[in-house]
Amino acid sequence: MTLDAPLPTATSTEGWDALCADDAALSGGVRAIARPHGLAARAAQRYDSGSLPVLALDDRHVLKLYPPHEGEHASVERRVLGFVQGRLPIPTPEVVASGTQDGWHYLLMSRLHGPRLVDAWPELGAADRDRLGDALGEAVAAMHALDASPLHGLPPDWDAFMREQRDSAAERQRARRLDERWVEQIPDFLDRHAPGPPARRVLLHTELMREHLLVERGAQGWTPSGLFDFEPAMLGDPEYDFASFGLFVACGDARLLRRSLLAYGMRADALDGVLACRLMAHAILHRYSHLRWYLERLPAAGETTLEALAQRWWAFDDAGA
């Protein structure tokens, strides 16, 4: 009989990152977590995306691990998943159990099904993409319409977070090796376009991406079947969610973005260059902002200013919509 090994420890950020990627080092701890819940972890299959270990234990259960220093993120995800359970038009994971093991934090959750949107995207026809854009806009609207007062105190504090992000915006991009011709534009761009205090603060997913959405194909075509990864959720400006949405769901697809924003409830005459620049500002201020990576995914096509880049990444072409 194989004894369960404790979950390992590290002394540096690089060490923790390496451990999170080491399935063999984690396997004993995974077994120790699974057993009290009547689950066998021998056939656990790791999902191949995300910075934290997420493993399918069987057809109905998923286990997510957080290193000891990620306790706040574990708490946020547990709290938010409990709050949204059954309240959105797209299924979200249900928390089955949570706890700690050898200093690590974990969530045992129900398993959602269907391929990730990023993998299924090439199979979607034009009608599927229109239907999906409408459904996603309606789902984000439903999330933002929830009374988030039960989540009061969810970190971070929005106003303090925005101040810190703005103060460090240029240096954070410089540290990520963004070309200086873009970095030097950031302070003036934010002076012109950074959003003011929001009229209301809503629950934000913050990382709406094709990688965090599941879809399924039915008689009527492809539809959303799951939304996951609420670990970086927070309370704040509703428009903040459309920074990642434009970059990582629409991916520059103007028709999809327009349909989603209209389904969300925005007015057609509000889909303009001013909004595009404000969403670019949110992208710069985002917790995980990485403009050099964004430019690799969505290259500039001759644009030389952040304003021009905003119009490209958050285009609202109404042709045929």
CA distance 230 to 79: 9
| Positions of E strands within the chain | 45-46, 54-56, 61-66, 95-101, 104-110, 202-204, 213-218, 221-227, 234-236
The range of the structural domain enclosing residue 296 comes to 117-313
Helix (H, G, I), strand (E, B) or coil at 203: strand
Kindly report the pTM of this predicted structure: 0.94
Residue pair 290/209 in contact by the 8 Å Cβ criterion: no
Q: Which token pair is 119?
A: 């993998």
Distance of CA 205 to the CA centre of its chain: 6
> For position 39, which CATH number holds?
3.30.200.20
Please give the radius of gyration of the chain, using alpha carbons only, rounded to the nearest integer.
Answer: 20
Say what angle helices 158-175 and 273-285 make with each other, to 10 degrees: 80
Same domain, 81 and 179: no
Same domain, 136 and 222: yes
Same domain, 194 and 101: no
Choose among 63, 57, 60, 30: nearest CA to 45: 57
pLDDT of residue 320: 47
Same domain, 103 and 131: no
Low-confidence ranges of the chain (pLDDT < 50): 1-2, 320-321
CA distance 190 to 278: 9
Beta carbons within 8 Å of 11's beta carbon, 6+ residues apart: none
Same domain, 91 and 204: no
Residues in the chain: 321
Residue 25 to residues 10, 102, 103, Cα–Cα distance (Å): 12, 13, 15
Q: How many CB atoms lie within 10 A of CB 213?
A: 26
User: In the 8-state DSSP scheme, what is residue 116?
Assistant: B
> For position 262, which CATH number holds?
3.90.1200.10
pLDDT of residue 319: 54
pLDDT of residue 17: 86
Q: How many CB atoms lie within 10 A of CB 61?
A: 21
Choose among 71, 276, 70, 288: nearest CA to 165: 288
The count of domains in the chain is: 2
pLDDT of residue 206: 98
SS3 breakdown of the chain: % helix, strand, coil, rounded to 5?
50, 15, 35
Residue where one domain finishes, among candidates 87, 110, 133: 110
Residue where one domain finishes, among candidates 89, 110, 131: 110
Residue where one domain finishes, among candidates 110, 130, 159: 110
Same domain, 55 and 189: no
Same domain, 184 and 96: no
pLDDT of residue 1: 37
Question: Is 153 exposed, middle or buried, given 0-12, 13-18 or 19+ CB atoms closer than 10 A?
Answer: exposed
